[in-house]
Amino acid sequence: PEKVIPRAMILSSLILIVLYTSVVYVTVRVVPVEVLKEQTSPIAFAAELVMGKAGAMLISGVIIIAGLAAVNSAIMAQSRILYALSRDRYLPGVLSAIHGRFHSPHVASLFSLIFTVAVTLLGDVNFVAYLVNFGFVIGFAFVNLSLIKLRKEKPWMRRPFKSPLFPAVPLAGISISIILLLFLDKAALIVGGESIMFALLAYYLRMVGYSRLRLAVGGISLGTGVLTVFLAFMAGTRLVMFDLPGLKIIPPAYILISFGFIQVLAGILNIVPTSPKSGHLKNGGKDNKV
């Protein structure tokens, strides 16, 4: 398997590249590009011109089967990603449940299926396709980036298969992924970028741990409270006048001062170390990451 599987993956990829490129080449040679743009199924339309109705039905059937296979692969991959994230405690633990008979992450698979159907029902198939392509391209880029990182940081690891021409191959993969992003829809790029930012935030919160997160929140609350009290005091003593356009009702100074003191108290309570018996800190008061 150490030799057969890598060879099979490389050979199958080359075959698919040649096959898909040939189909697209024949399609654009048979039908002008201007005409293909107006068709919902360009390949089936070209097949109908060449082979008639029977050819169009045959090609449509092949496309449907290929689409179902692609969806099945995507659901399987997505469920395994959810399982891994849940196992590492980035997602709820229920997603890492394993079926007793089939030994598969059935909860993650069911969630992936429901999510796929829900996204499909949005109606905008093109946007969904662009969004899926964004996810795949970003995934490929990170796989190549991880390859470079692992080869540099852990050269001693046993590797049954090594990428040839390192680091040219992974760098080429990253470059091609970036180029492909330029052809995606802008809305898909925005949504995908926001998803990445959310994922990075979740990863950061997971890595910093509970106690450090408390310190950060406590510091923000303490600073906000002190600033609020100071500004409210200055406004109440008329030492500073605030001209806020569009704000017709300005809260009295004592309300702002009360709010500021609450913020200060919340900040102090978050900064003060918690007793190990409280349940937030375990293992003798050590940081318990969430």
pLDDT per residue as tens digits for the range 73-96: 878 888 888 898 888 877 888 889
CA dist list (Å): 36 to 30, 44, 58, 67, 215: 10, 10, 19, 20, 59
Q: How many domains does the chain have?
A: 2
Domain co-membership, 220 together with 242: yes
Q: Rounded to an integer, what distance in angstroms lies between the CA atom of residue 174 and that of residue 205?
A: 27
Helix (H, G, I), strand (E, B) or coil at 92: coil
Note whether residue 152 is domain-resident: yes
CA dist list (Å): 40 to 35, 43, 125: 11, 9, 11
pLDDT of residue 267 exceeding 70, the answer is: no
Domain co-membership, 244 together with 255: yes
**pTM over cut 0.75:** no
State which of 160, 191, 208 marks the end of a domain. 208
Kindly state the helix (H) or strand (E) to which residue 171 belongs, with its residue range: helix 168-181
- Greater pLDDT, 246 or 73: 73
Note whether residue 52 is domain-resident: no
Domain co-membership, 216 together with 145: no
Among 120, 24, 142, 122, smallest CA distance to 75 is for: 120
284: left (phi over 0), alpha (psi -120 to 50) or beta: left
State which of 162, 178, 208 marks the end of a domain. 208
Q: Residue 242's domain spans which residues?
A: 210-278
Q: Rounded to an integer, what distance in angstroms lies between the CA atom of residue 163 and that of residue 25?
A: 30
Domain co-membership, 203 together with 129: yes
Residue that is written with structure tokens 């702002």 in the block: 256
